[in-house]
Amino acid sequence: MKKVLALLSMAMIIISFAMNTPAIAVESSSPNPGAKSMQQCDQFPNYGTQINFEGWTAGTVIDVQYLGQGVQFGTAAGCDPTKAIYDGARPGDGLILACFGNGYPYSGDICASFWIGASKAYVTKVGATVGWCDQVGAVTMKAYNCDGVEVGSYTNTTTGVEFFSISAPKIHKVKFFMGVDPAGSDIDCFTYDEVRPCTPIPTLTEWGLIIFGVLLLGFISWVFLKRRKVIGVRI
């Protein structure tokens, strides 16, 4: 029995060690992840992951290309189609993400939602540059949690390019409503913090403890049943 317990303990140590092995980092799915727009995204907040849309061919539809980084855009996020294009209202800014939905090309809504594979995920802080806004109150960004409930909102307070940001306990989706601006708008320098699953998933260490507990319970049951049989034979 001591040998069996020793083997179980050793197996638990090995499982725990393996489960704490760090994951391999995922590179940007942009064709040129090192490129910066002349708007210089490094001038704006970076919450951990920051995406600009440089490197794509102008006119490329952007939807699931950044799923490896935990986010998808456009129709994949349940909104109007989006494309990486140039905006003459942002001189020298390079490619940005604009909407090709209800208007052409800068009107209609832009969406982004967070995923881990095929499972819903959330962040606690998200932001992006929005522009060119021709008037105050032209664009509103709203955030929704994993259940689709609105958890935050921000509307531009100045004209030109403005950085929008929302913080909330769980943000699964953000939507930029291109409302009252006659020329519409676009986004760039999209940034967010750690992407986490909406439905908690046991960690690898927790799975190891569960497996160990099941094995230990099975072993105790086996010992108990064996002792009962021995006692029954003696009687």
* Residues contacting residue 231 through CB under 8 Å, at least 6 positions apart: none
User: 75 by DSSP, 3-state: which?
Assistant: helix
Indicate the pTM of the whole model. 0.71
> Is there a domain that residue 126 lies in?
yes
The reply to whether 191 and 211 lie within a common domain is no
Cα–Cα distance measured from residue 134 to residue 191, given in angstroms and rounded to the nearest whole number: 23
The reply to whether 16 and 63 lie within a common domain is no
Provide the CA 54 distance to its chain's centre, in angstroms: 20
Cα–Cα distance measured from residue 33 to residue 96, given in angstroms and rounded to the nearest whole number: 14
The domain containing residue 211 runs over which residues?
2-21+202-234
pLDDT digits (tens, 9 = 90+) for 86-132: 888 887 777 899 887 766 667 789 999 999 999 999 999 999 999 88
Burial code (b: 16+ CB inside 10 Å, e: under 16) for 171-185 equals bbbbbbbbeebeebb
pLDDT digits (tens, 9 = 90+) for 123-152: 999 999 998 888 899 899 999 999 999 999
The reply to whether 88 and 15 lie within a common domain is no
Task: Quote the number of domains for the chain.
Answer: 2
The reply to whether 224 and 178 lie within a common domain is no
